Amino acid sequence: MIFEKFKNKKVLITGHTGFKGSWLSTCLSIMGARVFGISNNVPTTPSHFENIKKFLEKDFRGDIRNASRIKELVKEVQPDYVFHLAAQSLVKKSYSDPILTWETNLMGTINLLEGLSELKKKCIAILITSDKCYENLEWVWGYRETDRLGGADPYSASKAAAEIAINSYVKSYFSKSNISIASARAGNVIGGGDWSEYRLIPDCVKAWSKKETVVLRRPNSTRPWQHVLEPLGGYLMLANKLYENRDLHGESFNFGPSLNKNFTVLDVVNEIAINWNDIKFITQSNLEDDFHECNLLKLNCDKALQYLNWSSCLNFEQTINYTSHWYMKYYENPCNIEETTKIQISEYFKIFNNKNLKV
């Protein structure tokens, strides 16, 4: 199997205490990798990371904005693979703290690239940006990797700028190096263990666990909803393909669900409601938010299918079921949630291997 190639490899993950980072750390540990994490974030409360941190070989603390610290840690770890997930990832927060957002998402990426530039060994780096890096024109079709970058809000614009910086560094400093780099674009990732503020499902389950009512402010907004393991499988497959084929050096890839059908915020909540009792929510789509966020966003993932043989594995109902089941198990017994995480990883990658790794 392709993921056996991570066994005994040193893998450095920035932002490992976050939602996607904690799942990726667990996946790689199960695959036999030696996992090292760099994060400046204090884990959320509750925290998925606190349940799985024992899987790491070393848990470093470092601010991605601190260039000297990042350079020092890259040099110390001497990684075979790097997955860069550290980010200020909230659109709403980007309006209230744009400087932090720009410094983290743009300069943080540049700081990591500077650290990688001093590595003398072969290393594969997957730099994750966002589906929001595209100039969003509210198209009904999916954005391709060659479409215009942009962003009206500070978060989206900072991710577009990070993509431009990555492209510049690849061409200016990594054209003949031992470092192979690709960027990955995904968004609206859901799944158990996400406890961040201002996100649909965490807000819902926290409120419902207290018998509170949730207010849905954008009930008709559509997003490319995907379970967290979907893009992570894509990142891992991209890393392995890049290891084998340097022709993919400098390329960008979208990772998202099928474009066959759109699902709204209201669709997500109604699907979760199937497995929850006594939930309450109201829709107030006429409310004026203090920040702008696009209503329609899709990704075209044909490039990932063509070059990586990757496509999403779970349908909408499976995605929501995985997610709601995890939170239900958490509220039943949070001490046993690690087992639920491991079971879902095992189940998902059986599906993934059957679909995406066929010869």
Q: Any idea which of 179-183, 257-261, 274-278, 336-340 has the lowest mean pLDDT?
A: 257-261
Q: Which tens digits make up the pLDDT trace of 68-112?
A: 999 999 999 999 999 999 999 889 899 999 999 999 999 999 999
Asked if 189 and 19 count as a contact pair (C-beta separation under 8 A), the reply is yes
DSSP notation for 252-304: EEE----SS---BHHHHHHHHHTT-SS-EEEE-TT---SS---S---B--HHH
Two tokens, residue 181: 């780099």
Would you call 213 helix, strand, or coil by DSSP? strand
Domains identified in the chain and CATH numbers: 2-356 (3.40.50.720)
Q: What does the radius of gyration of the chain's CA atoms come to, in whole angstroms? A: 19
Q: 37 forms bridges with which residues in the sheet?
A: 13, 59
Distance CA 189, CA 341 (A): 16
pLDDT at site 1: 57
Distance CA 49, CA 97 (A): 25
Q: Which tens digits make up the pLDDT trace of 32-48?
A: 999 999 998 667 788 89
Consecutive H or E run containing 206? helix 200-209
pLDDT at site 293: 61
Q: Which tens digits make up the pLDDT trace of 211-240?
A: 999 988 888 888 889 999 999 999 999 999
